[in-house]
Amino acid sequence: MKKNIKRIMMIALLALMLTSMPMAAGAGEEPQSAGPKQQEDKLTGEIAASVLSAYIWRGQEMTRDSVAIEPSFTANYKGFTAVLWGNLDTRPYAAGDGKHSSTWSETDFILSYAHEFGIVKAGAGYIYYGLAGMTPLGVDLLDAQELFVSLGLNTILAPTLTVYKEIDHYHQWYATLGVSHTFALHERVGLKLAAQASYLKSEDETTYPKFDSNSAATTDNFNNFHDGVATISLPVAVTGNLTITPTASCVFPLSEDAKYEMRARGLKGTANPSDRDSYYVYGGVTLSLTF
Q: What is the pLDDT of residue 271?
A: 57
Given a cut of 90, whether residue 61 has pLDDT beyond it is no
User: pTM for this structure?
Assistant: 0.80
Given a cut of 80, whether residue 22 has pLDDT beyond it is no
Q: Which domain holds residue 28?
A: 2-290
pLDDT (mean) for 248-267:
91
Could you give the C-alpha distances from 291 to 45, 50, 151, 200, 236, in angstroms and in order?
Answer: 5, 18, 26, 36, 17
Given a cut of 60, whether residue 4 has pLDDT beyond it is no
Query: What CATH number corresponds to the domain at position 196?
Result: 2.40.160.40
Q: What is the pLDDT of residue 214?
A: 86
For residue 213, name the pLDDT band (cuts at 50, 70, 90): confident
**Rounded to an integer, what distance in angstroms lies between the CA atom of residue 106 and that of residue 56?**
13
The more confidently predicted of residues 93 and 131 is 131
Q: What is the pLDDT of residue 147?
A: 98
For residue 139, name the pLDDT band (cuts at 50, 70, 90): low
Residue 58, Ramachandran bin (φ over 0: left; ψ between -120 and 50: alpha; else beta): left
For residue 94, name the pLDDT band (cuts at 50, 70, 90): low
Which three-class secondary structure state does DSSP give residue 257? helix
**236-237/280-290 β-pairing:** unpaired
- State the average pLDDT for the chain: 83
Phi–psi pair at 32, nearest 5 degrees: -70, 155
Which sign does the torsion angle of CA 196, 179, 70, 232 carry?
Answer: negative
Our count of domains for the chain comes to: 1
